[in-house]
């Protein structure tokens, strides 16, 4: 048994979509979340910048005595995970490995599309991870630089639908059966994405597999907690705005986020 919390990081609100599934799968676990909203979007930054920013969130989570860290951010997983895993003793869990595993299992036509940030797309991390499981799978990667900032801003429905449908136009009539949401902000736009993608496609959120994998790892290492669970939220951005959106998404009217210096 290990009652230390699980740390989860992201550039912003997107990591909450991972956190929510982790809490649902592991209700006895305490968590500490950090969203680096002051520096988002990570997806438009260089690899070196993403490593530096991610390292600083990792340092913050280590100061909270976490037992493991989930990179609830595809961009940080692609750019920074190999470097930072070498610098810390605890296990880091990324989202891309889980998303790739799930996509390779689910595709029947062996044609997968991945939408993500520019940095994730250019890294080809999804293509490489999927190919390490099955090199016959065709992987098409589409950069969607407008979508993570859109999810953060959370404007009215019409604006969201308009921007999502413009962004996803290149995927219209695309030859794939599985679409991977390769950015943790995208589940916040799931309704709009579903409205723009033909209903016969499977839309895959890697967070489901991340939650399962986290459970497997903690169980294997005898590190599951027994509760009572406590959840802490931090942002380098505007704590009031974060609290408002996070309360809705996490269905927790008591949730209060605190500001930390970036």
Would you name the residues annotated as active-site residues?
Answer: 73, 183
Q: Minimum Å distance from CB 226 to ligand DGL?
A: 31
Q: Minimum Å distance from CB 227 to ligand DGL?
A: 28
Q: In this complex, which beta carbon is closest to ligand DGL, that of residue 98 or of residue 117?
A: 117
Q: How many CA atoms lie within 13 A of 131 on its CB side?
A: 9
Q: In this complex, which beta carbon is closest to ligand DGL, that of residue 18 or of residue 104?
A: 18
Helix/strand number for the chain, H first, E second: 11, 10
Q: Minimum Å distance from CB 169 to ligand DGL?
A: 20
Tell me how far apart the terminal alpha carbons of the chain are, to the nearest angstrom.
33
188 φ, ψ (degrees, to nearest 5): -70, -15
CA distance 148 to 118: 11
Q: In this complex, which beta carbon is closest to ligand DGL, that of residue 139 or of residue 225?
A: 139
Q: Are 88 and 60 in contact (CB under 8 A)?
A: no
Helices 15-25 and 239-249 pack at an angle, to 10 degrees, of 40
Phi-psi region of 67 (alpha: psi -120 to 50; beta: other; left: phi over 0): alpha
Q: Minimum Å distance from CB 166 to ligand DGL?
A: 18
Kindly give, in sequence order, each residue whose CB lies less than 8 Å from that of residue 191, ignoring residues fewer than 6 positions away.
none
Q: Minimum Å distance from CB 195 to ligand DGL?
A: 21
Instruction: Enumerate binding residues for ligand DGL (CB under 6 A).
Output: 10-12, 14, 40-43, 73-75, 117, 120, 148, 183-185
Q: In this complex, which beta carbon is closest to ligand DGL, that of residue 31 or of residue 184?
A: 184
Coil, strand, or helix at residue 104?
helix
Q: In this complex, which beta carbon is closest to ligand DGL, that of residue 144 or of residue 223?
A: 144
């Amino acid at each position: 048994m290990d009652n230390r919390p699980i740390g989860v990081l992201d550039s912003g609100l997107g990591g909450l979509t991972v956190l929510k599934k982790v809490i649902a799968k592991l209700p006895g676990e305490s968590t500490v979340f950090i969203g680096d909203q002051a520096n988002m979007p990570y997806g438009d930054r260089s690899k070196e910048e993403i490593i530096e920013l991610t390292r600083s969130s990792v340092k913050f989570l280590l100061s909270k005595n976490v037992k493991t860290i989930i990179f609830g951010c595809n961009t940080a997983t692609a750019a920074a995970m190999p470097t930072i895993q070498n610098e810390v003793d605890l296990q880091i869990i990324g989202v891309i490995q889980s998303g790739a595993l799930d996509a390779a299992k689910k595709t029947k036509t062996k044609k997968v599309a991945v939408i993500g940030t520019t940095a994730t797309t250019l890294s080809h991390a999804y293509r490489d991870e999927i190919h390490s499981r099955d090199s016959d799978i065709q992987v098409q990667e589409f950069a969607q630089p407008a979508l993570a900032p859109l999810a953060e801003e959370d404007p009215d429905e019409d604006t969201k639908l308009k921007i999502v449908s413009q962004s996803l136009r290149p995927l219209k009539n695309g030859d794939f059966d599985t679409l991977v949401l390769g950015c943790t902000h995208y589940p916040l736009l799931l309704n709009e994405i579903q409205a723009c993608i033909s209903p016969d496609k499977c839309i895959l959120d890697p967070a489901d597999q991340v939650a399962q994998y986290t459970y497997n790892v903690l169980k294997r290492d005898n590190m599951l907690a027994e509760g009572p669970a406590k959840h802490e939220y931090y942002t380098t951005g505007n704590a009031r705005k974060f609290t408002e959106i996070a309360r809705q998404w996490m269905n927790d009217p008591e949730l209060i986020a605190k500001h930390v210096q970036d």
